[in-house]
Structure 1
């Protein structure tokens, strides 16, 4: 097992409109017990990706992480959601076994549903 050479990326696709989800706020955390340590607060670019890894080399170690996708604001800005969105912040909690690997955590979202998986 390597330490600190790996990183985490993401990509958000708007499945309601068939396009990348631009300008979505993403906050990533390291989870230790009941404590969440914020690592980054960034937004997606025009391609639904971040311009840098969500969790970069040197910050990744084995353990539990969470990415909060603020998708409700995105759909409200597009006029696809009411004042109280069905999905607001989508938290994805995942584990890292090998801090030397690349982990990709994509989100496919519509105003009323989402899915995720470990991508490549």
Structure 2
């Protein structure tokens, strides 16, 4: 299966497009970057793993570069980036990790 994400700017009620999102895998004590994508016009990154790369059991991290997004909106956000770490215990499942964002707060959950 795979990993996907999307960002909704809840302050304005629309997707956050053009945000760089990095995916990393924890190997021992170090994070290894697997891929960097940019959210599309709908605020989505539909496939964070590279084509042909299999999802494996492990601890992953999504890193959202929110400072650039805030600047483009003419805002000064509190969080220059947001990192969400999550554990894949069953590589046969799909992991959709959304980010609900405002300039002064955020939340996440496991989506479908």
TM-score, normalised with respect to structure 2: 0.93
Structure 1 runs (4+) deviating above 2 angstroms are: 55-59
- For the pair 1:16 / 2:8, whether they are aligned, the reply is no
Contact 1:105 1:117 in 2 (8 A): yes
How many pairs are equivalent?
Answer: 111
Q: Within 5 A, what are the aligned runs for 1:94-113?
A: 94-113=86-105
Q: Distance in 2 between matches of 1:41 and 1:10?
A: 12
> Any unmatched runs of 5+ in structure 2?
none
2:29 to 7, 29, 34: 34
Q: Secondary structure at the match of 1:31?
A: strand
Tell me the CA shift for residue 71 of structure 1.
1.2
Distance in 2 of aligned mates of 1:77 and 1:33: 36
CA deviation after TM superposition for structure 1 residue 59, in Å:
3.0
2:72 is aligned to 77
User: C-alpha displacement at 1:73, in angstroms?
Assistant: 1.1
Name the Cα RMSD after superposition. 1.2
- Partners of 1:53 and 1:62 lie apart in 2 by 17
Q: What is the distance in 1 between the residues matched to 2:109 and 2:49?
A: 17
Question: Does the residue aligned with 1:73 lie in a helix, a strand or coil?
Answer: helix
Please say if 1:66 is aligned against 2:61. Answer: yes
Unaligned runs of 5+ in 1: 1-5
